[in-house]
Amino acid sequence: MSKKRGCKFNDDLRSEFPFIKKTKSDYMVKCEKCNGEFSISHGGKNDISKHLETQKHKRYLNTAASSSKIQEYFQKTTYGGQKKKLALAEGLMSFHAINHNHSFRSMDCTSQVVRKLFNKKFACARTKSEAIVCNVLSPYAFSELNKNLEKINFISIYSDASNHKDIKLFPTIIRFFDSETGIKIRILDVVSLPGETSEIIFSSIINSLEKNNLKHKMIAYCVDNTNTNFRGKARRGTNNIFYKLNKNLNQNIIGVGCAAHIIHNALQTAADLLPVDVENIVIKIYSYFYIYTEHVEMLKEFCETAEVEYHKILEYSKMRWLALLPAVERILKIYDPLKSYFLSQDKCPRILEEFFEKESSKIWLEFVHNQAALFQNAIKLIEGDKISVIEVANEVNNLKFQCQERLENNFLPLTIRNSISQLEEQGAINCADIMNHVKKFYSNCIDYLEEWTVHYNDIEHFHWVTLKQELNWNDVQKSFDHITQNFTYSNISENDLFNEVSLLKKYIDKEKVKSWASAKITIENKWLEIFHHFETNHVPYNNALKIVEYALSLPGTNAATERVFSTVNKVWTSEKSQLSVETLKAILCVKYNLTNSCEEFHDLLNNDSNLLKKIHSNEKYAKE
């Protein structure tokens, strides 16, 4: 018996079944609708008919029938003008969602609204928007960051840990100065760690630095003043992150404790020495009213009787350094009605009863309020993201000077002096005793600030960078000496630096310094102006730039980390609890590393065809 010849895919079959395509041989075909491959060697057309009856092909038909257009489910791989516009819209809306802290779930509704109003082909619900953010925009943001870091000479690291339920979240944040765009604060990494020991955190930081080839560029470590980070104010011992980093990097990095915490703690520690525990009193008064409507209504009646406008008592937490001043101020506004209210209660809390019975209590409230204003002003001046440790050191020194002046002059505001005089005449208080406590308060503030800001000695040679006066080569030379002695990779030519400083002097004359001061130009913008002028006119400045980079890369506080955690709390809420750490990392990276407005990002996307193709491609759904 002769062997039967196999059936081949021919023009007749191709015409009848246009969605069936030949593959690697004439006997094998592929259905473009359901992506199924099969042989037609035995039955030819009959084999195709059998395929059309398979469950796989029917599932495709059912899916396609539920859509207005099959193409919405099975996107073509061709990339043209319409596809570009669609990719632009989807990429922009995904960025917009992240930029304004919207959830991916909200994109289900947003996508439908956009489709209804503008483009029927628009489809960017939660799955696609998350894929775009995680697998297109985030990698792009990291890529752009790495390109920027290649030309940067120095970086500083911020770090801290925050708990989200059972997850210990640990972001690694970097700060650097770019001669074209200024001071930048960017997310380098976000990881979940199994604990908060110095070894675990140190290993995580080193891993991030090594992955990005940044170990030799790290010059400072900015964190809270905890034992894990520094081992106390003396910074002794070996079981802390700062010591481990110095040893591993083999260079003397600068440890920057958070100055805002230091200033707050100085006030708090000094206030603890006063005869009245003001912080505890504020907390007790707030706790007495905050959920008890009946108590509040009774207090309102006392305010009405005393003809004093009622003000709601404010919450105070010892961890919130800007909360003490307004909380004390609010109590002082209704002090007399509060005093009458508590002393009229049969079951008044003992600590509050004793407080309001003492005639001197209001004096100490007013005193703490006055000092809190001084310290809060200092904190407000240093809490900006871009402030440098040089500026912070100046503000701390100014605060110490003001405390010293108050100590030497026995300073008390007029209202407090009048109250003391009246109460002393009545025999209720002893003025000498009051002044003794006041002096102890000022002395303790000064001592605390001195002890916890010793590390500012490391940057005393960089104050000239503020450009509050004309340049002096001796000052610049001291900065050069510090950098070259502590950082072997600095690669600064002293001869070229001297020549560049000579040229800088011609630009930074007395008139320029005065004009900057009158216009209140920031240090960052002063140097951006200088480097732009030198670049435009082809004047050399590379060695001077390295010293300025070093100085402006040094952070003043850990506020940048606190702001990242604030963003995490907005993004990772109980309603958005399904986020993974990797997805959160992608969101933070896009939000902090792509700092464009939505309008600016539209223009960026529109001019980047490669990025648009990635948004359009189905490859974005492939997790790395």
264-291 pLDDT, tens digit each: 999 999 999 999 999 999 999 999 998 8
Distance CA(97)–CA(231), nearest Å, equals: 42
The residue among 218, 175, 556, 559 whose CA lies nearest residue 390 is: 556
Q: What are phi and psi of 292, to 5 degrees?
A: -110, 95
* pLDDT of the residue at 623: 56
* pLDDT of the residue at 125: 81
* pLDDT of the residue at 65: 59
pTM for the full predicted model: 0.80
pLDDT digits (tens, 9 = 90+) for 569-606: 888 876 666 788 999 999 999 999 999 999 999 999 99
pLDDT digits (tens, 9 = 90+) for 44-98: 888 888 888 888 787 777 766 554 443 444 444 455 678 888 889 888 888 888 8
Highest mean pLDDT range out of 70-84, 420-434, 530-544?
Answer: 530-544
Cβ-contact 157, 558 below 8 angstroms: no
* pLDDT of the residue at 4: 55
Q: Which comes out higher in pLDDT, residue 154 or 164?
A: 154
* pLDDT of the residue at 455: 85
Other beta carbons within 10 Å of 623: 8
- Determine what percent of the chain is predicted with pLDDT higher than 70: 94
- Determine what percent of the chain is predicted with pLDDT higher than 90: 60
* pLDDT of the residue at 68: 41
Report, as an integer, the average pLDDT of 559-573: 88
Q: Which residues contact 398 (CB under 8 A, 6 or more apart)?
A: 378
Other beta carbons within 10 Å of 114: 18
Report, as an integer, the average pLDDT of 313-333: 83
Please state which of the ranges 4-8, 196-200, 529-533, 538-542 shows the lowest mean pLDDT: 4-8
Is the per-residue pLDDT at 541 higher than 60? yes
Distance CA(538)–CA(560), nearest Å, equals: 35
Strand partners, 562: none
The domains located in the chain, with CATH, are 11-67 (no CATH), 140-258+557-621 (3.30.420.10), 263-454 (no CATH), 467-553 (no CATH)
Q: Which residues contact 161 (CB under 8 A, 6 or more apart)?
A: 168, 169, 170, 193, 196, 201
Is the per-residue pLDDT at 550 higher than 70? yes
| Structural tokens at position 183 | 């001071």
Buried b (16+ CB within 10 A) or exposed e, 477-511: eebbebbeeebeebebeeeebeebbeebeeebeee
Please state which of the ranges 31-45, 135-149, 267-281, 424-438 shows the lowest mean pLDDT: 31-45
pLDDT digits (tens, 9 = 90+) for 368-393: 999 999 999 999 999 888 899 999 99
Q: Which comes out higher in pLDDT, residue 443 or 97?
A: 443
| Structural tokens at position 477 | 């030379």
The mean pLDDT of the chain is: 89
* pLDDT of the residue at 70: 38
Distance CA(138)–CA(490), nearest Å, equals: 31
pLDDT digits (tens, 9 = 90+) for 513-527: 999 999 999 999 999
108-111-117-118 Cα dihedral, nearest 10 degrees:
-170
DSSP H helices in 272-413: 278-289, 293-305, 324-333, 335-343, 350-357, 361-382, 389-408
The residue among 196, 220, 138, 292 whose CA lies nearest residue 623 is: 138
Distance CA(140)–CA(153), nearest Å, equals: 22
Burial tier of 522 (Cβ tally within 10 Å: 0-12, 13-18, 19+): middle
Catalogue the E-assigned strands of 179-275. Answer: 182-193, 218-223, 254-257
* pLDDT of the residue at 69: 42
Distance CA(559)–CA(256), nearest Å, equals: 12
Other beta carbons within 10 Å of 142: 20
C-alpha angle 399-401-405 in degrees, rounded to nearest 5: 120
Tokens 């209720």 -> residue: 428
Other beta carbons within 10 Å of 461: 20
Report, as an integer, the average pLDDT of 18-40: 82
Distance CA(521)–CA(516), nearest Å, equals: 5
Cβ-contact 253, 221 below 8 angstroms: yes
3-state secondary structure (DSSP) of residue 522: coil
Cα-only R_g, the chain:
34
* pLDDT of the residue at 167: 87
Kindly state the helix (H) or strand (E) to which residue 523 belongs, with its residue range.
helix 523-536
Q: Which residues contact 519 (CB under 8 A, 6 or more apart)?
A: none
C-alpha angle 87-88-94 in degrees, rounded to nearest 5: 85
Kindly state the helix (H) or strand (E) to which residue 479 belongs, with its residue range.
helix 473-486
* pLDDT of the residue at 73: 40
